Amino acid sequence: MKKFALLLGGLLLLLPFMAAAQQVLQQNDFASMSGWTTASGSWGVQGNQLKQQDTSAPMARIDHALNQTGVYEISFTVQYAGGGYASQADLANNSLHAGFGLHIAVKNPSLGIKSWGDGTSYLLWLNLDTRASTMTNYPQHYGFRAQVYRSTGDTTMDLVPSLNVDIPAALGITLQDLLNYVQNNNLLFANVPINIQVDTNTGRILVQDPTAPSLWYYFNLPASQLTGDDIAFRTNGMAVNFQNYKVTAQQ
């Protein structure tokens, strides 16, 4: 049976993750909102989860201070909680639009401000858009895509074309195959583990395959732009629960 990776399945090569001594830099059980600054959306904590509950918010974001130097890893789980479609008819027709991601290497964050970008940063983004209008007008965003955006201010954030990957196409399957796989395996409301390792010395970023933890996908960004003092969770058009957040430094 062909295995369908759920995250960044088409990005370049597979790389084994080399274990190293780790120091916990930041950990949050989401017993409170302490340390988090809401920019937009409806954020709160409940049952040790950080929840974004506004299914209509197109630029929901919440920031947290984090010094990013050297080699570090961000891990958390993410769970779909609702939204992603405009009507029940759209849901029945698989006309969907939703996304979530993480701003890293944020400098001069747009704290407390609803904005398109977030200071100078990179947004690592997973986007699902199966609307016919997107295929017609913005085909570069159609389907299920792993994307990277470069933010240079509150109103400016541009897609990095070389890191805009159509995941089903890269896996040699159709988008409908992928949607069927998620539904048939009861993955829609699952807690999906996300692990991202960033090396600010080399610019290499590794993302663990949540369906096969021994596999890591990698891509490269300019090392000089990967240090920062803030990160941010972000969603578009859906409610999401985050849990088990931890940041560790490699030593």
pLDDT at 19 over 70: no
For residues 161-178, give the mean pLDDT: 93
Domains and their CATH numbers in the chain:
14-18+35-241 (2.60.120.560)
Q: Among 5-14, 53-62, 69-78, 130-139, where is mean pLDDT lowest?
A: 5-14
Percent of the chain with pLDDT over 70: 91
Burial class (CB in 10 A: 0-12, 13-18, 19+), 184: exposed
pLDDT band at 2 (very low <50, low <70, confident <90, very high): very low
Burial class (CB in 10 A: 0-12, 13-18, 19+), 84: buried
pLDDT at 17 over 80: no
Q: In angstroms, rounded to a whole number, what is the distance separating the alpha carbons of residues 14 and 48?
A: 33
Q: In angstroms, rounded to a whole number, what is the distance separating the alpha carbons of residues 247 and 66?
A: 9
pLDDT at 9 over 60: no
Among 128, 141, 144, 120, smallest CA distance to 221 is for 120
Percent of the chain with pLDDT over 90: 80
pLDDT at 18 over 90: no
Residue linked to tokens 């965003």: 141
pLDDT at 13 over 60: no
**Tens of pLDDT along 71-83?**
999 999 999 999 9
Residue linked to tokens 């069927």: 180
**Tens of pLDDT along 83-135?**
999 999 999 999 999 999 999 999 999 999 999 999 999 999 999 999 999 99
Q: Which one-letter amino acid corresponds to residue 169?
A: A
pLDDT band at 61 (very low <50, low <70, confident <90, very high): very high
Which three-class secondary structure state does DSSP give residue 33? Answer: coil
Considering the entire predicted model, what is its pTM? 0.92
pLDDT at 204 over 60: yes
Bigger pLDDT: 195 vs 213: 195
Q: What is the pLDDT at residue 20?
A: 61
For residues 202-229, give the mean pLDDT: 92
pLDDT band at 250 (very low <50, low <70, confident <90, very high): confident
